[in-house]
Structure 1
Amino acid sequence: MSILGIVHTVIAVIALLFAAAALIKEGIINPFSSAGKIYSILTAVASITSFGLSKAGGFNPGHAIGILILILLGVAYLLGRKASEKRGLFLTQVFCMTLTLFLSLIPAVNETLSRLPVGHPLADGPTSPLVQNCIKGLLVLLVIGLGLQFFKVKRAG
């Protein structure tokens, strides 16, 4: 793993910890809460550093995911602090932030399963059935998580 790869991984893992903290504390990743701000900054940095990483060389699906994450973060911030006062805007903001987490986990799962355990990784890349099944599981969790978050927003509003 390159120095950039190590730095990228450390930043991305710390970002995921802040996302977990935000979800545990508030039930959503609010881009304007302290945990949400740190998550957003670290996720943006992780996405940007991912552009310098490529096993195959050139533009790859991981880069596309990084671009999409940056766009979703931008939309969430453009909706502003007062998005919570308008349910539709707030739901869009919640959706954007939650989707950034899901998208961050896709390469995380692939890279983890393709590298560990060292010497005998569990998967051989993104097309591996194990990676594909884990991503399907994450998609189910995304749908359930969004449902719970939207229900919470509806009850609060």
Structure 2
Amino acid sequence: MFGISPLGWLHTLGSLPAIPLAFYMFARHGRIVPRSVPGMAYFAFMLIGALTVFLVAHQPVSNVIGAVTLLLLLVGYGIGRLPSLGRAARYIETICLSLTAFLLMVPTVSEVLRRVPDGHPFVTDPKSPLLLGSQAILLVALVLGVTAQIIYLRRHGKAAGATAS
């Protein structure tokens, strides 16, 4: 079905739960919160997806996306444990984890458009306006989302500093 191998299904179904988890955390907290139950589940599902992409990828760019996603995921989840970075750690964590969600959504949207409906996909050409428009929308959402997150973190940090004085 959809031309996906059994290993491809493992990759797809292993990483798919990360999408609603990311949306939940963005809606609830405005960011992916690594030290929470949904955050730990997101980490596990993203790790499955990032590691299995190397087994199913047919294009070199897929391996690059997988490696970058893995790096951002590890930095995003590890940076908060470095007390020497102070507030900067929260900014780096937020940006890295938002980028992982973006790097999950770009191939997800592309693959859905290129495989659904089965046998007659919406997109057959990689330069299709629908595909390129979808990717552009994701990029705009990333830029606006990360900007909003940084503004929120700055305001929240200043408010916390003002009440501590």
Kindly indicate whether the alpha-carbon contact (under 8 Å) linking 1:116 and 1:122 is maintained by their aligned counterparts in 2: yes
2:87 aligned partner:
87
User: What's the Cα RMSD here?
Assistant: 1.7
- In 2: Cα distance, 1:130 partner to 1:19 partner: 24
Mapping of residues 8-157 of structure 1, within 5 Å: 8-55=11-58, 60-81=60-81, 86-157=86-157
Give the counterpart letter for 1:53 in structure 2.
V
Return structure 1 stretches of 4+ with deviation > 3 angstroms.
none
Instruction: Judge which range, 97-106 or 20-29, deviates more.
Output: 20-29
- In 1: Cα distance, 2:90 partner to 2:105 partner: 23
Kindly indicate whether the alpha-carbon contact (under 8 Å) linking 1:87 and 1:153 is maintained by their aligned counterparts in 2: no
2:162 aligned partner:
none
After TM superposition, the score normalised by the length of structure 2 is 0.85
After TM superposition, the score normalised by the length of structure 1 is 0.90
- In 2: Cα distance, 1:125 partner to 1:107 partner: 15
Provide the secondary structure at the position in 1 that maps to 2:73. helix
